[in-house]
Amino acid sequence: MNSTGGKFIVTVFGGSHDRNVGCFIDGCPADINVPEKFIQQELDRRKPSKQAFSTKRHEEDKVVILSGIRNSRTTGGRIELLVENNDIRPSDYDKLGAVPRPGHADWPLFSRYGMERRGGTGQASGRMTVSMVLAGAIAKKILQRYKVRIFAYTTQIGAVMAVCKPDYKNLERLRLKNPLYCPDKKAAAKMLRGIESAGKDGDSLGGIIECVTLGLPVGTGEPFWDSAEGVLARNVFAIPAVKAIEFGAGFGVAAMRGSKNNDQFCVKSGSVAMKTNNSGGVLGGMTTGMPVVFRIAVKPTPSISREQRSVDIKTMKEVEIIVPGRHDVCIVPRAVPVVEAVTAITFADLILRKN
Ligand SMILES: Cc1cc2nc3c(=O)[nH]c(=O)nc-3n(C[C@H](O)[C@H](O)[C@H](O)COP(=O)(O)O)c2cc1C
C-alpha cells in the first residue's frame, strides 16, 4: 500500500537505489500558493548535514515539479514531484550478500519477497522520507490557509533529556538555535557529545521527538476508524525507525486518577478552552481546539559499523557482519522535519474531509 489519505491522497514511489524518489498527490485544492523555493527549503532541512550525527552520503535533493503546480499555484490536478538519487552505491549492499542486517528490514523483506537487496531493498529506507517531505510541503501550504502551524523538536537523544516546558512560542523559536532541533541549549550540547562518542564506538543512538500542532479547528478527525490519533499514528509509523507514539500525558495516564487526568474547561478570550492538556488535544478521535501534542520514539540507527551476529540465509550458517555503507549515527535530527511533514499530510487530509 503506497497511498494514504481520504481526500488529500498521497502516493509515494521510488526507493533508495532507484533513479528517483517522489510522490503523487490527488485531491489538492486549486490555487494554493506553493513556490518551488518553499518545497526546496523543506527538502534542505531533511538533507544530511556536516554534523557528527549525519551520514556522509551526498544527497543533493533538488525538487522537480512534473505537474499540478504552475506559476507557484496548484492547478487542482494531480501533483507529481520527484527528486533524483545522485549518490547511489548498491555495491555497498552487494557486499552483504544474503546476510540480513540486525535491526534493519532485510530479514522480513528477504523472506517475503526474496528480492535482491539494495539499501534495505529500496522502500525500507530513510530515503523514502524525501517523498514525505515533498508531500508535507504542499500540505503545510494548505494548512496555512486555516492558520494551522506545526513544529517538532528533539526532547531526548540517548539518555540525555531536554527540559521543555509547554511554552510553545518559545519552543518553536529555541529549537532552531542548534542542528539537533533541541530547544534546551545545555541538553543539546550534551546530546552532540553523546552522538560523537557513539559514532567513535561505531555505534548509534535513538531519541524522542515531540510534535505540536496549533490552530486546528475543533472537531477535526473522523470517528470511527479514522480518528485524529489513529490516522496520525498510522502515518507516523510509516517513518522508518519509529517505534512508539503517545499523545498528551500518554502512558502517564495509567497512573493518574480521573480528577487529575481530566482537562477541566474554562473560557479564554471568549472561547472554550481547557486548563490542562492531558488529552494531547484529542477527545473522541477529534481535535479539541487545544494544541495537538504527541511524542515519538526513534530507535538507534540499525546499520552500525561494529561486528554483529547474523545468519547467511543461503548457507544457513551463523556469521559475523560489519555493515558497510555510510549511515547516520543518530536519525533523530533528520527525522524532525519528516515528523512535521507527516503531521501536515494527516491534518491537511482530515481538514479537507471535515469540510
Ligand atoms: C531520516 C532517516 C534516515 C535514516 N538513515 C538510516 C541509515 O543511514 N542507516 C540505517 O541503517 N537506517 C537508517 N534509517 C532507518 C531505517 O530506514 C529503518 O530502521 C529500517 O528501514 C527498518 O525499519 P523500522 O526501523 O521501522 O523497522 C533512517 C531513517 C530515517 C527516518
Q: What is the CATH number of the domain that holds 134?
A: 3.60.150.10
Distance 342 CA to ligand 1 centre (A): 16
**What is the number of structural domains in the chain?**
1
How far apart (Å, rounded) are the C-alpha atoms in residues 107 and 124? 11
Our mutation pick for probing the ligand 1 site, out of 301, 322, 338, counting the most ligand atoms within 8 A of Cβ, is 301
pTM of the model: 0.96
What is the structure's pLDDT at 39? 98
What is the structure's pLDDT at 48? 76
SS (H, E, C) 184-220: CHHHHHHHHHHHHHHHHCCCCECEEEEEEEECCCCCC
Distance 229 CA to ligand 1 centre (A): 23
Our mutation pick for probing the ligand 1 site, out of 104, 235, 326, counting the most ligand atoms within 8 A of Cβ, is 104
Residues of the chain short of pLDDT 50, as ranges, are: 118-120
- State how far Cα 94 lies from the chain centre: 28
The protein residue with its alpha carbon nearest to ligand 1, atom 28, reads 126
How far apart (Å, rounded) are the C-alpha atoms in residues 34 and 40? 11
129 CB within 6 A, ligand 1: yes
Domain residues for the domain of 85 are: 3-354
340 CB within 6 A, ligand 1: no
Instruction: Please state the φ and ψ torsions of residue 348, each to the nearest 5 degrees.
Output: -60, -45
Distance 309 CA to ligand 1 centre (A): 19
What is the structure's pLDDT at 280? 98
Distance 232 CA to ligand 1 centre (A): 19
221 CB within 6 A, ligand 1: no
The protein residue with its alpha carbon nearest to ligand 1, atom 29, reads 126
Nearest to 261 by CA among 274, 246, 277: 277
What is the structure's pLDDT at 119? 45
Residues 6+ apart with CB under 8 A from 286: 218, 219, 220, 221, 223, 227, 228
The protein residue with its alpha carbon nearest to ligand 1, atom 9, reads 327
How far apart (Å, rounded) are the C-alpha atoms in residues 241 and 235? 13
Our mutation pick for probing the ligand 1 site, out of 12, 331, 332, counting the most ligand atoms within 8 A of Cβ, is 331
User: Residue 226 has what DSSP assignment?
Assistant: B
Distance 241 CA to ligand 1 centre (A): 5
- Residue 130 CA: distances (Å) to CA of 175, 204, 229, 241: 22, 22, 23, 15
**Residue 105 alpha carbon, nearest atom of ligand 1:** 22
How far apart (Å, rounded) are the C-alpha atoms in residues 351 and 221? 8
What is the structure's pLDDT at 17? 80
The protein residue with its alpha carbon nearest to ligand 1, atom 30, reads 126
74 CB within 6 A, ligand 1: no
Residues 6+ apart with CB under 8 A from 1: none
Residues 283, 228 contacting (CB under 8 angstroms): no
Cis bond before residue 294 (omega within 30° of 0)? no
